[in-house]
Amino acid sequence: MKEKKLLSFLRQAREILSDFFPAGSVALLPLLLASLTWAVNRRSEIKSRLLGLKVWLEPETLQNKPAEFILDFFAASPELKTAFASEINSQNLKALRPAFRALYPILGLQDPFLERLFSEELRNHDYRQVVAEFRPRLQQALEEIEAARVRNNFWRTLENLTEGFLSLGWRLLAEDDIREQLKKIIDRV
Amino acid sequence: MRPAKGVGLRDQDGFTRIVLIFFLVLFLAACATSLSRARYYLAQAQVRERSFQTAEATALYKRSLMEAERAVKKRPSAQAYLLQGLAEVRLSRWSEASRSFSLAASLGEDKAENWAREVSLYGLALSLEEQGLVESALRLYSVLSERGKFSPVVQAALGRLVDNRLAQLDGVPEKEREKILSKNIEIVGKALDSDPACGYYHYLLAQLLGHQQKYQESFQEAVMARELGLPTLEIHRDNDNYIVFCYRQLRESLTGEAWTEFRQTYRLWIEKWNWPDEETPDWKRR
């Protein structure tokens, strides 16, 4: 797939979707990226996926992981190990648990929507900022989607975009490859 | 002319009757088609669910629900309400499901009466939990997970029960902690006795055993959970992360032959799952 073709598709998609979102929206690009990534493996149900976003991002089981699992999550990643060195060394779970709740869905479960929502911070390895911003920004993004989804043709438009994306031949690639390609290019949109 | 008129009237009557019968047949066929489509989509959704295609499964449950609703509108029947209720349960629409099962029961579907009761109790427990009445909710979850007969409700109630009990572990003295964990392991164990092929129960058990730092057993349960299938993609990924976590913990604690043996077993599994290495599940970005 030519980079130029993808870039042009993404620019067009952004323009179409921008009708549904306010200027400076935090949700638009994460929504676009996530929809295209999901579309590759799970074509038809972008809608249920997005409506379920709020539910699965904070399932109870994630809040109740053993201390060792949380410590291992931070210690196993060199970047997290550096960013949270003092908390890891002192095994300060009071500080690590809330950080884990924000970072695990992004880095542990690799949710494409959240990855894009915090792409700037992730690129700069500013994990503390992700933790600080997690709830308010997610809330803002969900409110934007909520406002967009009640408008006429929103889902149809999104589905048409993913169909258009798949018709460019992306379904032949694995989700990993697509995610990488999209990540590389979406900042230029 | 008269006989001709008489014949004409009879012809007209006959024609009307034929048209009526034709529409009746069409109507019945449409009902049957909606019902069979609802059944077909429900079965397809279950197949998708078992292979982690959660979103497709949800879409198919919705289609099944639509067809069942159509069948109910055309010709309410116990079976149509039952199918509607089943799809609603899978879409977590508990109060609607309870109503559908009650209607199915009122039309003669015996098993639906108990299902309606269990679904409505689960819905009530969720509301209580939302309102902060956690202990009352837990009592209901406990009753449903131990005595329930309708497996989607039993599974959901057990998950909520274990989650809530685990949330109480923080800051609890060691002895009390062990007691809570053992009690939960016992409850999940009982559920597994009645449904050993439920991947989600194995997942819950793996999590609980992890809390007790029994990593070899926890690993085995997580492997079984993976092999048997899990209800959502996120739980599937979380379970994979747990497998890697157990591997790392055992790498630190096992020595000599025990480690060699475990490592060999581990390698066989990850080879089967196409993981690029011991600490990278197939879905993780390389």
| DSSP assignment string, B27-73 | HHHHHHHHHHHHHHHHHHHHHHHHTT-HHHHHHHHHHHHHHHHHHHH
Share of chain B above pLDDT 70, in %: 86
Amino acid making up residue B116? A
- Residue A139: Cβ-neighbour burial (10 angstroms; 0-12, 13-18, 19+): exposed
Q: CB distance A45–B59 less than 8 Å? A: yes
Q: Smallest Cα–Cα separation from B260: which of B269, B250, B275, B270?
A: B250
Q: Residue range B84-93: average pLDDT?
A: 84
* pTM for the structure as a whole: 0.72
Average pLDDT, chain A: 81
Per CB-CB distance under 8 Å, the chain B contacts of A69 are 210, 242, 245
Q: List phi, psi (to 5°) of A84.
A: -115, 30
Q: CB distance B242–A44 less than 8 Å? A: no
Q: CB distance A48–B166 less than 8 Å? A: no
Helices (H), chain B: 2-50, 54-74, 78-90, 94-106, 110-130, 134-147, 151-167, 174-194, 199-211, 215-228, 233-253, 256-272
Query: A104-154: per-residue pLDDT in tens?
Result: 989 998 887 888 899 899 999 999 999 999 989 988 988 888 888 788 888
Which stretches of chain A sit within 8 Å of chain B by CB? Answer: 38, 41-46, 48-49, 52, 56, 59-66, 68-69, 72-73, 76, 108-110, 175-176, 179-180
Q: How many CB atoms lie within 10 A of CB A151?
A: 11
Q: How many residues does chain B have?
A: 286
Question: Looking at the DSSP assignment, which residues form a beta bridge with residue B277?
Answer: B280
Which 3 state secondary structure label does DSSP give B277?
strand
What torsion, rounded to 10 degrees, do the Cα atoms A146, B41, B148, B193 define? -110
Least confident of A58-62, A97-101, B188-192: A58-62
Q: CB distance B164–A110 less than 8 Å? A: no
Taking CA–CA distances from B238, the nearest residue in chain A reads A109
Query: B263-284: per-residue pLDDT in tens?
Result: 999 999 999 999 999 999 988 8
Calpha distance B1→B263 (Å, rounded): 100
Q: Smallest Cα–Cα separation from B200: which of B232, B157, B230, B223?
A: B230
Per CB-CB distance under 8 Å, the chain A contacts of B234 are 56, 59, 109
Query: A29-44: per-residue pLDDT in tens?
Result: 888 887 887 776 554 4
| Residue found by looking up tokens 């697509």 in the block | A178
Kindly give the interhelix angle for A93-103 and A127-149, rounded to the nearest 10 degrees.
40
Taking the CA of residue A53 and the nearest CA in chain B, the distance in Å comes to 11
Average pLDDT, chain B: 85
Structure confidence at residue B8 (pLDDT):
57
Higher pLDDT, A44 or B251: B251
Statement: residue B3 has pLDDT above 50: no
| Residue found by looking up tokens 């066929």 in the block | B29
Q: What angle do CA A164, A168, A174 make, to 5 degrees?
A: 105
Query: B173-208: per-residue pLDDT in tens?
Result: 888 999 999 999 998 998 899 889 888 899 999 999
Q: Residue range A7-21: average pLDDT?
A: 88
Q: Residue range B27-48: average pLDDT?
A: 76
Taking the CA of residue A71 and the nearest CA in chain B, the distance in Å comes to 10
Per CB-CB distance under 8 Å, the chain B contacts of A40 are none
Statement: residue A59 has pLDDT above 60: no
Calpha distance B203→B213 (Å, rounded): 15
Kindly give the interhelix angle for A28-41 and A154-166, rounded to the nearest 10 degrees.
50
Q: Residue range B229-234: average pLDDT?
A: 78
Q: CB distance A72–B56 less than 8 Å? A: no
Q: CB distance B211–A109 less than 8 Å? A: no
Taking CA–CA distances from A97, the nearest residue in chain B reads B170
Calpha distance B206→B220 (Å, rounded): 8
Q: Smallest Cα–Cα separation from B172: which of B189, B190, B184, B188?
A: B184
Q: Largest Cα–Cα distance in chain A?
A: 53
Structure confidence at residue B4 (pLDDT):
46
Query: CA torsion sign, B162 to A96 to B222 to B230?
Result: positive
Q: CB distance B213–A76 less than 8 Å? A: no
Calpha distance B155→B119 (Å, rounded): 12
Q: How many CB atoms lie within 10 A of CB A158?
A: 23
Taking the CA of residue A23 and the nearest CA in chain B, the distance in Å comes to 30
Which 3 state secondary structure label does DSSP give B274?
coil
Statement: residue A92 has pLDDT above 80: yes
User: B257 pLDDT band (50/70/90 cuts)?
Assistant: very high
Calculate the alpha carbon distances from A142 to A23, A63, A99 in Å.
Answer: 16, 21, 20
Least confident of A55-59, B135-139, B203-207, B247-251: A55-59
Statement: residue B223 has pLDDT above 90: yes
Tokens at B140, concatenated: 């209901």
Higher pLDDT, B75 or B209: B209
Tokens at B83, concatenated: 């199918």
Calpha distance B180→B165 (Å, rounded): 7
Q: List phi, psi (to 5°) of B269.
A: -65, -50
Q: How many CA atoms lie within 13 A of B108 on its CB side?
A: 5
Statement: residue B42 has pLDDT above 80: yes
Which 3 state secondary structure label does DSSP give B26?
helix
Tokens at B128, concatenated: 């209580």
User: A5 pLDDT band (50/70/90 cuts)?
Assistant: confident
